[in-house]
Amino acid sequence: MIVRFLGLIAMIVVLNACQSAPARLARHSCESELEQTGRTVECMTLTVPENWSEPAGRKIFLEVAIVRAAAPLEGLPPVMYLHGGPGGGVLDDLAEALGSPLGGELIAQDQDWVFFDQRGTGRSAPLLDCGEIALNDAGPASDEVVAQLVTCGRELSANGVDFSQYQSRSVASDVQAIRAALGLDRFDLYGLSYGTRVAAAVLTHAPDGLRAIVYDSPWPPEAKWTEPGPLWVSREVRELLRACAGDSACGGYGDLERQLDALAQGWLDGADVSHASALALFLMDSVYDGDMVRALPRTVARLAHGDLSALAPYAAASDAGYADALHMAVMCNEELPFESAAAVRANAAGDSIAEAVALTMSNYFAACEGYFQATPLR
């Protein structure tokens, strides 16, 4: 991913020399998968300043797609979709989303929908990614992963990336740039997860033309993540395992909650805690993913009987599903300055599942060495 980034630097420098406008829109053909959805989709690239306070400075590129309404209602403005993360994307999966039942019911029925990969993510450029490392929303899996993240952040900074400009308020300015480039007088926002935090930034800092917001799975600016996070994961996992114990079709596995507690505590007490770290990342993914949730009782039973294959993808390099460096830039500058690793561990104490998740979530703080700005950006 770093090589791809370096290749983009030259293109950015050339465009900086020949272009002084704060934002510039260039339309292009859409990928064949989008064209085959049967929907009317328009694709484009918007060039914007990395730093909105320096409009003639370094430029970055945002990939944008408009899905036209199937049966537009007069007077309804477009909906701009804000994807989650931080560090997620939307355009790579847009064709699949449009073909899904939910896409057929919700997306671009009576309003146009505008999708874009936020700065540093997806198909936008530069892509702030560190390659395949053992990281997800439970944090970096180990000291080795922390070192990889720090190195990645330093390399990107050395190549000109200003991490202070990759945060929610800058994305709010990008939303206004997209609105202006498309000539929209009004627009609605649909924010999902981290996208709700961006929506709050739009409402606070750049509300021109904003008519309405849908907050889906809100993550408000005042909410904390790492300090309560391990107990959240434990709560959800325990609730599922207890429900299994009371279900005739599922209860044959025995006391799964007790088995998982014993497994996690044994790994935490042992000299090698790598299994506990892999368990933390696995459980975090499990509570997000419907298929993994349904399989969790069976998987826990297998873990308890020594089959650790479910943990293998989390014990080594893996794809977090988002741009790692962008994820870290937001976490380190908007979230973690208001939390502490000591509180993460203290809150989890006495709950073996939470303690395993706290093991990795507390690693976030050390990794911020490669991304931290002097002043918190929230």
Q: What is the pLDDT of residues 189-226, one digit of tens each?
A: 999 999 999 999 999 999 999 999 999 999 999 999 99
Range(s) within the chain of domains with CATH label 3.40.50.12270? 2-216
Q: Tell me the pLDDT band of 271, cut-offs 50, 70 and 90.
A: confident
Q: What is the pLDDT of residues 65-77, one digit of tens each?
A: 999 999 999 999 9
End-to-end CA distance of the chain: 28
Reading the block at residue 336, the tokens are 């973690």
Residue recorded with tokens 């690793």: 341
How far is the C-alpha of 310 from the C-alpha of 225, rounded, in Å?
25
Reading the block at residue 327, the tokens are 């994820």
pLDDT of residue 17: 37
Assign domain 2-216 to a CATH class. alpha beta
How far is the C-alpha of 129 from the C-alpha of 144, rounded, in Å?
17
Residue 368 near residue 339 (C-beta atoms within 8 A): no
| 114-123, 157-166, 239-248, 367-376: least confident range | 367-376
How far is the C-alpha of 306 from the C-alpha of 161, rounded, in Å?
45
How far is the C-alpha of 365 from the C-alpha of 72, rounded, in Å?
47
Give the DSSP per-residue string, 311-358. Answer: GHHHHS----SS-HHHHHHHIIIIIGGGS-HHHHHHHHTT-HHHHHHH
Over range 222-236, report the average pLDDT.
97
Q: What is the pTM of this model?
A: 0.91
Over range 328-346, report the average pLDDT.
96
Reading the block at residue 342, the tokens are 């000591």
